[in-house]
């Protein structure tokens, strides 16, 4: 979804004193990114506040996962809980439950989450770099 911003400027450019108009149109991209995982549809809110919140939660998630011993059952439960929090932070409340009900496999959902985070990072890079480069040129 894009929004148009329209500014009109009037200036005297004609010898007879008539005003001529010139418009500047700028497009604003939506801050919502649609995501499909299997048959499920979600949205990622890319507002600054949500982006910062998710990045903080992602950093915590990565640190906690590094400390887990996957061979222990209690760590598998802990991983499922952490994944639930991470999915819900990115895709909205209840996202993990929908996917877990469908797959019943924490390992699969960890792999999907890592892919999702990679794609999320690519979207952020694609949105930031072109805007900065274009504004400099």
The predicted pLDDT at position 101 comes to 97
Q: What is the pTM of this model?
A: 0.69
Beta bridge partners, 74, equal: none
Coil vs helix vs strand at 64: helix
100: in domain: yes
22: in domain: no
Whether 49 has a pLDDT exceeding 60, the answer reads: yes
Beta bridge partners, 43, equal: 34
**Mean predicted confidence (pLDDT) in 106-128:** 88
Whether 99 has a pLDDT exceeding 60, the answer reads: yes
Whether 6 has a pLDDT exceeding 80, the answer reads: no
Q: Based on the structure, what is the number of domains in the chain? A: 1
86: in domain: yes
122: in domain: yes
- Residue 74 sits in which domain range? 32-136
15: in domain: no
4: in domain: no
CB neighbour class for 90 (10 Å; exposed up to 12, middle 13-18, buried from 19): buried
Q: What percent of the chain has pLDDT over 90?
A: 37
Instruction: At 61, list the tokens.
Output: 């998630």
**Mean predicted confidence (pLDDT) in 12-27:** 64
25: in domain: no
Under the banding of pLDDT at 50, 70 and 90, the label for residue 5 is very low
What's the pLDDT tens digit per position in 10-19? 455 556 666 6
The predicted pLDDT at position 76 comes to 83
30 φψ region: left (φ > 0), alpha (ψ -120 to 50), beta (else): beta
2: in domain: no
């Amino acid at each position: 979804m894009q929004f148009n911003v329209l500014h009109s400027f009037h200036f005297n450019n004609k010898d007879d004193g008539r005003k001529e108009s010139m418009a500047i149109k700028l497009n604003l991209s939506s801050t919502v990114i649609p995501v499909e995982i299997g048959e499920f549809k979600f949205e990622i809110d890319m507002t600054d506040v949500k982006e910062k919140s998710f990045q903080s939660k992602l950093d915590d998630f990565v640190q906690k996962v590094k400390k887990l011993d996957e061979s222990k059952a209690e760590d598998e439960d802990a991983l499922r809980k952490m994944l639930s929090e991470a999915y819900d932070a990115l895709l909205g409340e209840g996202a993990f439950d929908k996917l877990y009900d469908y797959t019943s496999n924490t390992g699969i959902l960890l792999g999907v989450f890592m892919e999702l985070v990679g794609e999320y990072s690519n979207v952020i890079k694609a949105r930031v770099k072109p805007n900065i480069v274009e504004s400099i040129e």
